[in-house]
Structure 1
Amino acid sequence: MSSTKFHFVMFPWFAVGHMTPYLHLSNRLAERGHKITFLLPKKILSLLQPLNSQPHLIAFHSITIPHVDGLPPGAETASDIPISSVSRLAAAFDLTRDQFEVIVAAEKPDFVFYDTAHWVPEIARRLGIRSVCYNAVCAAAIAIALVPARAVRDDRPLTREELAEPPSGYPSKTVVLRPHEVESLTFISLPFGDGITFYARTMTSMKHSDAIAMRTCREIEGAFCDYLSSQFDRPVLLTGPVLPEQSPDTKLDERWACWLGKFSPGSVIFCAFGTQFILEKDQFQELLLGFEETNMPFLVALKPPAGATTVEEALPQGFEERTKGRGIVYGGWVQQPLIIGHRSVGCFVNHCGFGSMWESLMCDCQLVMVPHLGDQILNTRLLTEELKVGVEVERQENGWFSKESLCKAVRSVMDKDSELGASLRKNHAHWKSVLTSSDRMSGYIDQFIRDLQEIGR
């Protein structure tokens, strides 16, 4: 590697699912001697500080979040608000522009990494700094929803009909939305800040960057990344999945270690749907009844459903008594990577958010996907149709999944004697081997830095 050392400013969208991938990348860059200034809301500092493995080179810089009408007092991240308020958070995010410019002008970095701050390239260019739009979502979602060849001419969001039809040259016939799922991507035309839609914000962020970067690897999404590069006429740089390395000193909370330790290897179902998604109460209860119907032990970590303040008050009638000793429903945060790595956990039921997608590929569990949003649906199709490492729970056209369909999906992958279960395990083992190759993943970061050196010339 060149002896050149860069200074990076990281400015991700104010959501945990965006900030943590940026910090994981920062750790990898700092391991190679590069300096990072990481901009974030003060409130999230305590959560991210323990994940900073290179504090001598990664400096956190707090940003003050201005208050805007419609945003709850003290709200600083997407985890603090319902999805319906995200546009107001985006408006507050944009009001940090002056703070950002002052910090960047003083720090004089070589590169600024950002995702939804569409005004960053303009400021960076004026200051003689390179801008990199770093995306922590799948390339397929960007390709289907934001492809310039279909919409860039007049900067308009795609219609439902266009979203239902993959664009010309799109590199997959299976990683697609079905007609009744198109609604899951129409949020791109909704406001995301004052006077701007999510679509316009994201398109501007990518079109005006010096380079686009993706948190993915060529083995899995190479064709999608090449397609994006041709459409945006920008280099698309790959970092690999950039997953955190668990410290040998990091232990699973004793509560979960003791409970899981009561069960035989590979027998427990674990379910989690991320930090933001909230189910309706009837779908929440149907999910739990599906786990009950499997007759297997299960640990469910979900936020309380809509209208409930705790998970306990939303449980189906008689559920606790019927599942006592073999089932737990928990409404707080858990150590997901450590839980799916526990010897007793044999099935991971998840929403297939991009972070969970990579974590699931790195574990030994059988995978069952219950996606909710457009990018999660496409992640799911990537795992089920292309890589063939898991199954998707069947839904009705109105999006509803039944307890029977959930139970069927779990049993189909957990049956040790089934041809499907054996095939999924074999494919999963292959991809885990690919992704856990330290030389291969380290090589992605080294190549990423070389690519940045070319852009910086």
Structure 2
Amino acid sequence: MDELYDEIKSFLENLKPHFVIFDFAYWIPELALQIGGIKTVSYRVVCPDKTTFMTSTAAELVKPPPGYPSTTVVLRECEAKLLQFLFDEYGKGVTFLERMQKSRAGCDTIPLKTCREVEGTFGDFAAKQLEKPILYTGAVLPELKNEPLEEHGLSNRLEKFEPGSVVFCALGSQTILQNKQFQELVLGLELTESPFLLAVKPPEETNSIEEALPEGFKQRAKEKGLILDCWVPQLKILSHKSVGCFVSHCGYGSMWESLALCDCQLVFLPRFFDHLLNARLMEHELKVGVEVEEENDLFTKENLCKAVKCMMDKDSQIACSMKENHRKWKELLSSPGFMSNYIDNFIHNLHGLLLEQT
């Protein structure tokens, strides 16, 4: 993207737009200033608490600044290493952190892909830290269409099982597990004794899912388990009546889809630093699910099984409480006009920025 500087400069000089909405192209604000008359919008499609952690220094990676609005939506000391990427080169001659800092410093406003009702305290804190106006776009969720699950014969497979009995686990497009963790994952799902559907990439240093499976697993799980290493229609699966539990990596998109568009019980298995913050928001602030406990930075099949069984136990007080909280959040977030009002207000606020310069 950085190598497109000249082309984008020419494009903007000819088009003279009111706004440029950008993310990693940190040179956009300076370019817009040179051309004149263009407002720049540094759009954040990640949690606002992640923005706070990106102001940390190397010595204080897991210590949010004073006044941070939560004692639970934080990283643990052992997770500091996950933030090392901030100080790595990301493009020619610039680190990831410098790229983010320059984007924030030069832009006119920072919209967040969230709702005030869910993360407003973090957005307010980010506004103070960054000294920039914060706007909210809402979660910008896709529409859920009532279409059959044709891919991979999933509809026929899921129909075989009782309502609410299937565990669906999806770890996103970026997660590639170590082989040992992959085996803990599939054995943990097997331990639940529930039918399961797993969407995951082949683990490190392997060519396929099949070669990485524990000995005898394929034969034991053939009736109850299905593992796919390709894209799956996540929203359609989550809305199927047979799916009762969603084990998620808690990426921001999956977080919102699970919170606002499905009725499943939620279990979190985060692998990246922003996913960890999402999971802790969901567990400790919103109280809609549980994170799988780790031992020495690794999850075990026993702890995965424990979390899933806890959430699927209809007699569990924790599970019932989480389910009720989830129901309330879904009711709010999916209520008529709720999300469209956010978009309308966002557009209105952008118009307000234009009026400031006239």
Same fold (TM over 0.5): yes
- CA shift, 1:294, in A, is 0.6
What is the aligned length?
Answer: 352
Say which SS state the counterpart of residue 155 (structure 2) adopts. Answer: helix
Which of residues 255, 263, 267 in structure 2 aligns to 1:368? 267
The aligned residue for residue 44 of structure 2 is 135
Say which SS state the counterpart of residue 305 (structure 2) adopts. Answer: helix
Which of residues 50, 71, 78 in structure 2 aligns to 1:173? 71
Tell me the alpha carbon deviations over residues 185-209 of structure 1, each in whole angstroms, 9 at most, x when there is no partner.
2221111111111000011111110
- CA shift, 1:107, in A, is 2.8
Say which SS state the counterpart of residue 120 (structure 2) adopts. Answer: helix
Indicate whether 1:121 and 2:20 are aligned.
no
Q: Which 5+ residue runs of structure 2 have no aligned equivalent? A: none
- CA shift, 1:122, in A, is 1.3
Say which structure, 1 or 2, has more relative contact order (CA 8 Å, 6+ apart).
2
Q: Distance in 1 between matches of 2:135 and 2:149?
A: 35
Q: Which amino acid aligns with 2:264?
A: C
The aligned residue for residue 411 of structure 1 is 309
Q: Note the 1:85-96 alignment, pairs <5 A.
A: 93-96=1-4
Label 1:424 to 1:311 Cα distance change in 2 as closer, same or farther (>3 A).
same
- Structure 1 window deviating more from structure 2 (322-331 vs 106-115): it is 106-115
Q: Which amino acid aligns with 1:381?
A: R
Indicate whether 1:252 and 2:160 are aligned.
no
Q: Which amino acid aligns with 2:22?
A: Y
Indicate whether 1:389 and 2:318 are aligned.
no
Q: Which amino acid aligns with 2:110?
A: I
TM superposition outliers: structure 1 runs of 4+ over 3 Å: none
- CA shift, 1:435, in A, is 0.7
Q: Which amino acid aligns with 1:447?
A: N
- CA shift, 1:114, in A, is 0.7
Q: Distance in 2 between matches of 1:121 and 1:405?
A: 47
Which of residues 109, 131, 156 in structure 2 aligns to 1:233? 131
Q: Distance in 2 between matches of 1:247 and 1:410?
A: 28
Q: Note the 1:256-405 alignment, pairs <5 A.
A: 256-362=154-260, 363-397=262-296, 399-405=297-303
Tell me the alpha carbon deviations over residues 34-87 of structure 1, each in whole angstroms, 9 at most, x when there is no partner.
xxxxxxxxxxxxxxxxxxxxxxxxxxxxxxxxxxxxxxxxxxxxxxxxxxxxxx
Tell me the alpha carbon deviations over residues 225-254 of structure 1, each in whole angstroms, 9 at most, x when there is no partner.
111111211110000001011344x44225
- CA shift, 1:367, in A, is 0.6
Say which SS state the counterpart of residue 359 (structure 1) adopts. Answer: helix
The aligned residue for residue 17 of structure 2 is 109
Q: Which amino acid aligns with 2:81?
A: E
Q: Distance in 1 between matches of 2:148 and 2:6?
A: 42
Q: Distance in 2 between matches of 1:106 and 1:258?
A: 54
Q: Distance in 2 between matches of 1:232 and 1:391?
A: 31
Q: Note the 1:419-430 alignment, pairs <5 A.
A: 419-430=317-328
Q: Which amino acid aligns with 1:133?
A: S
**TM-score with structure 1 setting the length:** 0.75
Q: Distance in 2 between matches of 1:100 and 1:373?
A: 32
Q: Distance in 2 between matches of 1:107 and 1:322?
A: 62
Tell me the alpha carbon deviations over residues 88-138 of structure 1, each in whole angstroms, 9 at most, x when there is no partner.
xxxxx2112222222333333211111111011112222221110000000
Q: Which amino acid aligns with 1:309?
A: N
Q: Note the 1:2-21 alignment, pairs <5 A.
A: none
- CA shift, 1:371, in A, is 0.7
Q: Distance in 1 between matches of 2:199 and 2:279?
A: 20
CA contact (8 A) 1:303 1:332 kept: yes
Q: Which amino acid aligns with 1:104?
A: L
- CA shift, 1:283, in A, is 0.5
Q: Distance in 2 between matches of 1:251 and 1:124?
A: 47
